[in-house]
Amino acid sequence: MYSRELDGATHRFGVTGSLWHGVLVMFDRETGSYWTQIDGRAIRGANQGATLAHVPSVFTTFGSWVDAHPDTLVLDKADDERGQAASHYAEYFADPERLFFEHLGADIDTSVVRPKEIVFGVRNAGDAVAVPQATIERAGIVHLEVGGDAIVLLRDERTGEVRAVRSARELVRVAGYEPTVRVADAANGEVMRVDTLEPVRVDRAFWYAWARTVPDARVHGE
């Protein structure tokens, strides 16, 4: 998710219908510049080279979100979309081998993760690491070193939400709690809320999209 504020002005965005490395491309109505969804960078037009400010967001279930934020407003769907139960891309998401374009799976490292596997990517201080979804699902918590800093990925087994936080301590999940709510210091047992730790941006993407956007990214477990 990105801020619509750029150089003191609020921009309005739409979808171009084009893809960049297999990822959605947006455009701003003020200049017609093209922006990538995966990193919020302008790749064409008057704003080329600019980057939108990232706004933290949560990938979770609606029920879990409303429990935590009961006053949430919901964007109303147009009448012709109300009965639509599935994504337009449901078949694409369901087929692990199907790619929009065959070249998307070429010339990327597939020794650890397949082109269309979901990864959670973290960037810090010029370094980047991708953690396969299967890895975080098995472990529930993954400790990384990215750009010289200790970063921890945690998964909520109930909702599938994955968060990244900065912590030099080894953390473990606390039994009876969702891991994104409470963790403990492995050394002394101190229990803490994850939202008291410094959050780090984590991107959820197909490996082919992440690998092409961040070509120097490492894969956790290599």
* Residues 143/149, Cβ–Cβ less than 8 Å: no
Residue 8 has pLDDT above 80, yes or no: yes
pLDDT of 43 reads 94
Residue 156 pLDDT level (bands cut at 50, 70, 90): confident
Token digits of residue 89: 């891309």
Query: If you average pLDDT over every residue of the chain, what do you get?
Result: 86
Average pLDDT over residues 73-80: 77
Average pLDDT over residues 168-181: 76
| Percent of the chain predicted with pLDDT > 70 | 93
Residue 4 has pLDDT above 80, yes or no: yes
How far is Cα 158 from Cα 140, in angstroms, rounded to an integer?
A: 11
pLDDT of 50 reads 94
Residue 84 has pLDDT above 70, yes or no: no
Give me the helices (H) in 120-184, please: 133-139
| Fold of domain 105-219 | Rieske Iron-sulfur Protein (2.102.10)
Residue 202 pLDDT level (bands cut at 50, 70, 90): very high
How far is Cα 12 from Cα 111, in angstroms, rounded to an integer?
A: 41
How far is Cα 94 from Cα 109, in angstroms, rounded to an integer?
A: 22
Which amino acid belongs to residue 215?
P
pLDDT in tens, 32-62: 999 999 889 999 999 999 999 998 887 778 8
Length of the chain: 222
**Which of 100 and 144 is assigned the larger pLDDT?**
144
pLDDT of 109 reads 82
pLDDT in tens, 129-153: 999 999 999 988 999 999 999 999 9
Token digits of residue 166: 């900065």
Residue 85 has pLDDT above 80, yes or no: no
Domain ranges of the chain: 5-44, 105-219
Residue 193 pLDDT level (bands cut at 50, 70, 90): confident
